[in-house]
Amino acid sequence: MIQEITVLSGKGGTGKTSLVGSFAVLAKDKIMVDCDVDAADLHLILNPEIEEANDFFGLNEYFINRDVCIECGKCEELCCFEAIKDFEIDVISCEGCGICYLACPASAIETRKKKCGEWYISETKYGPLVHAKLGIAQENSGKLVMEVRKAAKEMAQKENISLVITDGPPGIGCPVIASLSGTSLVLVVTEPTVSGIHDMERVLDLCSHFNVKVLVCINKFDLNLEKTGEIEKICRKRNVKIAGKITYDYIFTEALIKSLPVVEFSDGETSRRIKSLWENLYNELNR
Ligand code: SF4
Ligand code: SF4
C-alpha cells in the first residue's frame, strides 16, 4: 500500500518547503512531490536532474476562423465573459466554456490544445522528485497537481516504493483540495501570528471536511509564546496533535543560500527538532 504525507500551510512563507526538504533526507525509500505548482521551489533545495519532461495542457483555447465566419454576432451575444469583440476571441478573458464553439451556425470557431506548463520526473541525491512548472498567468493548477500526484503514485507502484511525501500548495483553494484528497496524513505548518492561526484553522476545517488525519507543526514558536499557547489550545480542542515545535533560526536562510536541506546543513538544535518532528509524523502514519 502506498502512503502519502502531504505538508500544507494556510499561506506561503511558513517554512513548509524547508521542512519538506529535510524530510527528503530523513525519510527512506520514498518519492518526493512538489505540488506547489504556482511557486515551485523544492527543487532549489533538492537540486534535481530532470530525467523526463512532459507538457501540461489546460483548458482548450478557442479562436475564430475569419475565412469561415459569417459575422452573425451570435458568439459575442452568448459569451458571458465578454471575451469576443469584432469577431476575435481575447484569450485572456476567455474562460474556455465552449458555448460559442457549440452555438456558431457556421462552425467557424475552432479549438486547439493549450500548453499551460510542464511537469518533470527527476532524480535527486535523496531519491526521485516529481515536480512541475505552471506557465506565467496560467490557471488550472488543480489539474496540474492531480497530474503530478498521479505520476508519483504510478512511479511508486512501478518501483515498489511505499511512501510519497508531498509539498502542497499554500491556501485552501482548488490546488490544495487536489493535493489533499486521498492522502494518508496531512501536516499543517503554522506560525504564532494572528494570520497564522486564522490560516491554520481554515486548513484544519478543510482537512476535517475531507476526513483526513492531520497533525500540526508550529514553526518559529519562540517568537510569540502567547500565540503558540493559543495554537496549542485550538489543537487540543480540535483533538489535533502537535507533531513538533521549531525555533526561529537563521539556519533556514543559511541552508537555503547553500541549496541544502536544513538537517544536512547543520546538526544543531533546529535539526534535532526537525528530526523529532519527522519521527512523530512517521510514527503517526504507521499507527
Ligand atoms: S457565431 Fe460563428 S459565424 Fe457568427 S460571428 Fe461568431 S464565429 Fe462568426
Ligand atoms: S469559450 Fe466561452 S468564454 Fe471563451 S469566448 Fe467562447 S463563449 Fe466566451
Segment 10-25, tens digit of pLDDT: 777 788 999 999 999 9
SS3 for 67? coil
117-171 per-position pLDDT tens digit = 899 999 999 999 999 988 766 666 788 888 999 999 999 999 999 999 999 888 7
Query: Would you state the pLDDT for residue 139?
Result: 64
pLDDT at 91: 86
Residue 286 has pLDDT above 80, yes or no: yes
Distance, CA 56 to ligand 1 centroid (Å)? 30
The secondary structure element, H or E, covering residue 256 is helix 251-257
Amino acid of residue 74: K
Residue matched to cell numbers 499543517: 188
Using pLDDT thresholds of 50, 70 and 90, give the confidence band for residue 1: confident
| Nearest CA, atom 8, ligand 1 | 69
72 Cβ closer than 6 Å to some ligand 1 atom: yes
The three cell numbers locating residue 30: 520514498
> Phi-psi region for residue 266, left (φ > 0), alpha (ψ -120 to 50) or beta?
beta
User: What pLDDT does residue 136 have?
Assistant: 67
Domains annotated for the chain, with CATH where assigned, are 3-56+118-285 (3.40.50.300), 61-112 (3.30.70.20)
Across the range 198-214, mean pLDDT stands at 93
Mutate which of 74, 76, 79 for ligand 2? The one with the most ligand atoms within 8 Å of its CB, which is 79
Is there an atom of ligand 1 within 6 Å of 130 CB?
no
What are phi and psi for residue 104, nearest 5 degrees?
Answer: -60, 120
With pLDDT > 70 as the criterion, what percentage of the chain qualifies?
98
DSSP state, 72? -
Lowest pLDDT segment from 47-51, 73-77, 174-178, 185-189: 174-178
- Residue 37 or 203, more confident: 203
Ligand nearest to the CA of 73: 1
75 C-beta closer than 6 A to ligand 1: yes
The answer to whether the CB of 103 is under 6 A from ligand 2 is: no
Q: What average pLDDT does range 178-187 have in this prediction?
A: 89
CA of 97 to the centre of ligand 1 (A): 16
CA 251 – ligand 2 centroid, Å = 50
pLDDT the model gives residue 285: 92
pLDDT 10s digits, 222-267? 999 999 999 999 999 999 999 999 999 999 999 999 999 999 999 9
As a whole number of angstroms, the distance between CA 65 and CA 214 comes to 52
Higher-pLDDT residue of 178, 215: 215
pLDDT at 171: 76
Cα distance between residue 165 and residue 88, in whole Å:
45
Q: Distance from the CA of 234 to the center of ligand 1, in angstroms?
A: 57
Report the separation in Å between the CA atom of 253 and the middle of ligand 2, taken as the mean of its atom positions: 45
- Taking the centre of ligand 2 as the mean of its atom positions, its distance from the CA of residue 87, in whole angstroms, is 12
Q: Which ligand has the minimum distance to the alpha carbon of residue 69?
A: 1
DSSP 181-215: TT-SEEEEEE-SSHHHHHHHHHHHHHHHHTT--EE
